[in-house]
Amino acid sequence: MGKFAIIDIGSNTVRLVVYENRERAPYVVFNEKVFCGLGRGVAETGNMIDEAMELAEKTLKRFSMLIVKMGIDDPRIIATSAVRDAKNGPEFVERIKDYTGLSIEVIKGTEEARLSANGVICAVPHASGVMADLGGGSLELATIKDRNVNNECTLPIGPLRLQDQEGKWFDNPKRMVKKNLAEINWLSENKGQKFYAVGGAWRSLARIHMDMIDYPHINMHNYIIPVNEIMSLAKKVSKMSLVEVYQYRGLISEKRAKIISLASLTLYHLLKNLKSSKFVVSGFGVREGVLYDGMSDEVRTQDPLIVGCHQVAEMTGRFPEHGQRLYNWIDPLFDNESDEQKRLRLAICILSDVGWRGHPEYRADKVVGEVLYGRFGGINHWGVGLISMALYTCYGGSRQYSDQVEVAASLINKYDLDYARKIGMALRLAQRLSAGTERGLKIAKLDVNEDTLLLRINREKKDITNDVVIKRLESLARSFDLDPKVTHK
């Protein structure tokens, strides 16, 4: 199955994303967005303005040429609020077809809500709560539970719908926001749940929060903010003029700066209604929802983290099939794990060979960067830190952390760091003993017997051990407060 392309024609941006395939956790091979502002002026005049349509036309022509060059013959092109609501939307669709050859699918607001919620599920399979996707022209809402989406709806309160073509706010946008939210009866029935925030403007607000608290990581996906803190920030920013918002230059783009106050206003009143328990930033939305929509039920039930790790291992590892064997081999050391710890340990084992191409002095830092800034689904920042530090140890990282490793270590507590180091040391022993081969692990076995860590070696293969193997066994044993011992059978 080859590459798959999605073009998302939104009210604020037009974006092309190309995925390596349509599997459960496809790798993004190309991602480009252009701020076209198609939704600007639609509320005021009922039409998309010529300047915005011309920029979108040129952008889509470029995207159509790129798709051809990549050998993609079945892209999915969707248009949302601006094209959907504008009187000249049908004319625009025909114009794009004639000029670029692209066939645009204009989706309904409720369908957009469903797809955005599926995008959240694509990355967070166990998501449960309220999904809200704020685009330039509209707000889509839905509830998520047990991988099912319900209560899909759309409201015309995107930032571009609350201002004129010049960016001047309409009279009393707060009243417009509150009036529209009051019409959604099911909001009162879903108070106190998690809130999954989708959309670039709200991610920009979360970026400001990251900077305020000096948060160590920069990955926005699955960033969790206490609700009282994001509401306080949203209320503050909603009252700012554009000049005041410009204090955040460097954190958010100029285009986002022009709409973030109105986006904050909508967020504040929505959270005030919902009294949400957690605010979770989702880096996945309608595009990933389109992708998820096309998956079979069998593929959807797969774990996106484990599938993603296997894909990375296939691309960069020497022995990509070795992960499960390593997991089983070191399993006797870890008998009190939670289900989530077991899942993350499997991910670590799958990724344990992906840094070998780097220079020996750089491998440990390299593999941390691959995880820390990778686009893995099905994992939060705590999990990213745990996997990173286990692999750092696996590749012989020192206790003198680089800035990047310091970031990874700061995402977990000292007990998790100790657990990660134990996994890393166990993998260092396994990889040195086996050289990454299945047969290498078959001739040896780890076992814990009271206060002793036993390495049982087939007698006829006893020369497989050397000083390095023994030293790694000793280090591993010390981390568990056990005595190391090699036996032959």
93 neighbors 106 (Cβ within 8 angstroms)? yes
pLDDT higher than threshold 90 for residue 32: yes
Residues 40 and 43: their CA atoms lie apart, in Å, by 8
Percent of the chain with pLDDT strictly greater than 90: 62
Answer left, alpha or beta for residue 368, where phi above 0 means left and psi between -120 and 50 means alpha. Answer: alpha
Residues 115 and 109: their CA atoms lie apart, in Å, by 10
252: phi then psi, degrees, rounded to nearest 5:
-130, 155
The model's pLDDT over 168-182, given as tens digits with 9 standing for 90+, comes to: 888 889 999 999 999
Confidence of residue 49 (pLDDT cuts 50, 70, 90): very high
The model's pLDDT over 376-417, given as tens digits with 9 standing for 90+, comes to: 888 999 999 999 999 999 988 887 888 899 999 999 999 999
Confidence of residue 25 (pLDDT cuts 50, 70, 90): confident
169 neighbors 44 (Cβ within 8 angstroms)? no
Residues 326 and 431: their CA atoms lie apart, in Å, by 9
**pLDDT for the residue 358:** 65
**pLDDT for the residue 319:** 66
**pLDDT for the residue 437:** 63
**pLDDT for the residue 418:** 96
CA 34, 36, 40, 45: dihedral to nearest 10 degrees?
-160
In three-state secondary structure terms, 413 is coil
The model's pLDDT over 213-261, given as tens digits with 9 standing for 90+, comes to: 999 998 889 999 999 999 999 999 999 998 999 899 888 888 888 899 9
The model's pLDDT over 263-285, given as tens digits with 9 standing for 90+, comes to: 999 999 999 999 999 999 998 89
CA distance readout (Å), 454 to 361, 469, 470, 479, 489: 31, 13, 11, 14, 12
Confidence of residue 18 (pLDDT cuts 50, 70, 90): very high
**pLDDT for the residue 137:** 86
**pLDDT for the residue 469:** 85
Residue in 382, 386, 401, 381 with CA at minimum distance from that of residue 351: 386
In three-state secondary structure terms, 276 is coil
Strand partners, 91: none
Percent of the chain with pLDDT strictly greater than 70: 96
pLDDT higher than threshold 80 for residue 441: no
Residue in 357, 358, 360, 351 with CA at minimum distance from that of residue 383: 351
The model's pLDDT over 428-440, given as tens digits with 9 standing for 90+, comes to: 998 888 766 666 6
**pLDDT for the residue 31:** 94
The model's pLDDT over 447-487, given as tens digits with 9 standing for 90+, comes to: 888 899 988 887 777 777 788 888 988 999 999 999 998 88
Q: What is the CA radius of gyration of the chain?
A: 26
What does the DSSP 8-state code read for residue 466? -
